[in-house]
Amino acid sequence: MFLPIVIILAVAAGLFAARGPWLMYGDHKQRASAMRKEIKSLKDAELKESEASREATNPVEMEEKARRMGWVPPGETPLK
């Protein structure tokens, strides 16, 4: 009679003790996911910045952009 109660209490204590690492694992998993998202957003921002910098320094793209905005080089007539 006494032995089944001890076994049930031991199993309950084991389950309660095993709960801690799983909670820590879940917290670690959430932090890792947040870090991955932050790193991805930083990489995306860096990529956009480098692309904008490349566009700003590329003379062909600068001229194309200026022409789209209505600039015409001296000696040329605008197309209508």
* Distance set, CA 24 to CA 34, 36, 49, 65 (Å): 15, 18, 37, 53
Domain positions in the chain:
10-54
pTM summary value: 0.46
Of residues 68 and 45, more confidently modeled: 45
Give residue-wise pLDDT tens across range 46-80.
Answer: 999 888 887 777 788 888 888 888 888 887 877 66
For residues 10-35, b (16+ Cβ closer than 10 Å) or e, as one string? eeeeeeeeeeeeeeeeeeeeeeeeee
| Least-confidence region, from 12-26, 27-41, 43-57 | 12-26
Whether the CB-CB separation of 35 and 29 falls below 8 Å is answered with no
What pLDDT does residue 29 have?
85
Query: Is the per-residue pLDDT at 35 higher than 90?
Result: yes
